[in-house]
Amino acid sequence: MRKLRVLVLMHPSLVPPDSLEGYTEKEIYVWKTEYDVVTTLRKLGHEVKPLGVHDELIPVRTAISEWKPHIAYNLLEEFHGMVEFDYHVVSYLELLQTRYTGCNPRGLVLARDKALSKKLLVYHRIRVPNFAVFPLGYVARRPRRLAFPLIVKSLTAESSLSIAQSSIVDSDEKLAERVRFIHQNRRTAAIVEQFIDGRELYVGIVGNRRLEVLPIWELTFENMPPRSAAIATARIKHDPEYQRKRGIYQQPAADLPLALTEHIIKTSKRIFRILDLDGYARIDYRLSPQGELYFLEANPNPEVAESEEFASAAQAAGISYPALLQRILNLGLQRGS
């Protein structure tokens, strides 16, 4: 295997230490992805340089000019505090003619905008929840076609960061209040969707032209409080202690009929290509009790910590964690070739 110089791009606050010794589980959880990627790439024999990137591109150019990496491993989820600015960094890498891992700028733009991605998929006759968008500063007036219950999210921010049990609303008053919350606290437009009760499914995909769909994964809830909806709130996604307390697990989706499994695989590949994704991504769905599959969102460059669902699904497919990271590197090196 060729030994590479790998520049790993991440937020400055997430640059990990060399060792886990002395850190609590809560502290480690914050930068576990960055730690897992950096340490695993080093174990594979690559020379790795972590670089914190916040609101300046000069450090990126300097590192590329002076260190001359073979590839940049992109772990950035925002730039200058804006999630929708992350694609600018990738565009900059392309201008510098530097190979990088993960999704291209076009796919990032299409996938990050939840309304735009849904409009494209509706055109291709893929089922999505009914939805409406309320731009920043606009008052929420519900269209007649949207029936309660509804769920309110940020249009561009990672969904879990703006989702709580109060995100599900059943009246116009609550709808207006939650949209106002998104506008004021996330400083983004709000997307309001038909709430689909049912199972939450995740489908990981690896590839550029030839795609490999990983085993279908499911977020399960065993001990939720009474009258709580089974949704992936920020607390559920990012609080390990709460996950254990409430019996929340990410595991292989059980008891899916073969025809439905084949439909999910085929649909996921179609979505990946329609949204111009490459590298690796995760497609999120809700499966209604009637067996109807609804696309929720596409996540380019999803969480790749060893303990999270993407790596777990890869492991179930026979791809070890080091092999997964190496494959992601190889796909970045092959882009455009």
Q: What is the percent of the chain where pLDDT is above 90?
A: 82
Last residue of a domain, one of 194, 213, 230: 194
Instruction: Examine the domain organization and report whether 49 and 93 are in the same domain.
Output: yes
Last residue of a domain, one of 194, 224, 249: 194
Q: What is the DSSP string of 168-184?
A: EE-SHHHHHHHHHHHHH
Instruction: Examine the domain organization and report whether 51 and 76 are in the same domain.
Output: yes
Angstrom distances, CA of residue 30 to CA of 26, 34, 92, 112, 309: 7, 9, 27, 22, 16
How many domains is the chain built from? Answer: 3
Residue type, 83: V
Can you give the pLDDT at residue 3? 96
Q: Is the pLDDT of residue 162 over 80?
A: no
Residue 207, domain extent? 197-334
Residue type, 49: K
Q: Is the residue at 285 inside a domain?
A: yes
| CATH number of the domain within which 47 lies | 3.40.50
d(CA 337, CA 322) in angstroms, rounded, equals 24
Residue-level length of the chain: 337
Torsion over CA: 219, 223, 229, 233 (sign): negative
User: What SS3 class is residue 242?
Assistant: helix
- β-pair partners for 221: 248
Q: Is the pLDDT of residue 169 over 80?
A: yes
pLDDT digits (tens, 9 = 90+) for 265-301: 999 999 999 999 999 999 999 999 999 999 999 999 9
- pTM of the predicted structure, to 2 decimals: 0.94
Instruction: Examine the domain organization and report whether 31 and 62 are in the same domain.
Output: yes
d(CA 160, CA 183) in angstroms, rounded, equals 16
Q: Is the pLDDT of residue 160 over 80?
A: no
Instruction: Examine the domain organization and report whether 203 and 176 are in the same domain.
Output: no
Instruction: Examine the domain organization and report whether 165 and 264 are in the same domain.
Output: no
Q: Is the residue at 114 inside a domain?
A: no
d(CA 236, CA 197) in angstroms, rounded, equals 17
Specify the residue for token string 């939805």: 131
Q: Is the residue at 121 inside a domain?
A: no
β-strand 71-74 against 5-10: which pairing, if any?
Answer: parallel
Q: Is the residue at 105 inside a domain?
A: no
Q: Is the residue at 288 inside a domain?
A: yes
Instruction: Examine the domain organization and report whether 181 and 270 are in the same domain.
Output: no
| CATH number of the domain within which 280 lies | 3.30.470.20
pLDDT digits (tens, 9 = 90+) for 81-97: 888 899 999 999 999 99
